[in-house]
Amino acid sequence: MIVNLPDTSSREVAKRLVTLHETEGSVNSGRVLTLVVCAEHDEPTEGAIEAAIAASREHPSRVIVVSRGVRHARSRMDAEIRVGGDAGASEVIVLSLAGDMADHAHAVVIPFLLPDTPVVTWWPSIGPARPASDPLGTLGRRRIMDANRDPGLNTVLKRRLAGYSPGDTDIAWTQLTPWRAILASALDRPPFTPVLEIDVTGPDRSPAIDLLAGWLRSALGVPTRRFTGSFEVRLVRTDGDTVLAVDESNNAVLTAPGKPDGKIAMTPRSLPVCIAEELRRLDVDEVYASALAGVADVERISPEQEALLRADMRAAVEHAAQQSDSAASDGKE
């Protein structure tokens, strides 16, 4: 059921919620958290609502969507309440704010927070520079951003680090979970030879690939380089390289010396899956913080630098071959 309340007040919305609980039989006792979704007036919200509803199958919650409209308009609040089949295991309250109310969204939201349950704040699009200092961000124990949606992809992680507070996290980081699991598993198998250096290759404007490189740099503490190209992670080890790549079917392929290639079926991680994973933990994600800090220590290799490196490698191989041929000739004499 969807109930529209145009030009309304917080009191009227609260009264209608109570009425719907009585008539529809829904109760708040099963809700485990409040998810506050923040958007500006020109940002679409339906995709975020659908993702939150899908995630509610695992985390029944109250979803409060705050759409902050034009500031110079008359102060006004339009509300929409979704319960039952239109809200999954959640109940959804959409608050469209204009005028002065748009600048005081946190005060509007507070009466609708479920008592004695944690709050998570999520910006599906462009978020604030310092999420923990944002009025809506202060409500959340966890604050979810999405670096993939930022217009400045090449600098977004630097800005995330500058504005980081414990409790911040990012959808770009959550997308990496299966890939990090594969790499951790590869390093957890014998012969446990040390990693000397790491090369991470992926699309140029990809915060997820940058975070993957930062995670490896912070976790292993060895020189890490970031290249542009098709996805590949190369762990240079004393007994040969361990390589994680993808095949033509987008399956993950893990290659290691002395072992058969491992092929793992991979599917793109949808937004509902990522949100559900983030809602599973409400403590500080210290590994994300380390990965974010590690990005600054990754050496970024431009295509021009890569071409020079490859030329140097070819020259070194040719020189080694010549040395070998020369040694063989000397031996025959």
Give the DSSP per-residue string, 42-57: TS--HHHHHHHHHHTT
SS3 123: coil
What H or E segment, with its residue span, contains residue 299?
strand 299-300
Burial readout 283-317 (b: 16 or more C-beta within 10 A, e: otherwise)? eebeebbebbebbeebeebeeeeeeeeeeeeeeee
Q: Any idea which of 83-97, 104-118, 184-198 has the lowest mean pLDDT?
A: 83-97
Name which of 122, 134, 110 is nearest 51 in CA terms. 122
Average pLDDT for 40-67 = 88
Average pLDDT for 271-290 = 94
For the chain, domains (ranges, CATH) are 2-145 (3.40.50), 177-305 (no CATH)
Residues 6+ apart with CB under 8 A from 157: 147, 207, 210, 211, 214, 292, 295
Q: Report residue 20 as tokens.
A: 């719907």
> What pLDDT, on a 0 to 100 scale, did the predictor assign at position 35?
95
Name which of 98, 158, 164 is nearest 137 in CA terms. 164
Average pLDDT for 109-114 = 94
Model-wide pTM > 0.85 = yes
Q: How confident is the model at residue 226 (pLDDT cuts 50, 70, 90)?
A: very high
Name which of 268, 273, 275, 269 is nearest 37 in CA terms. 275
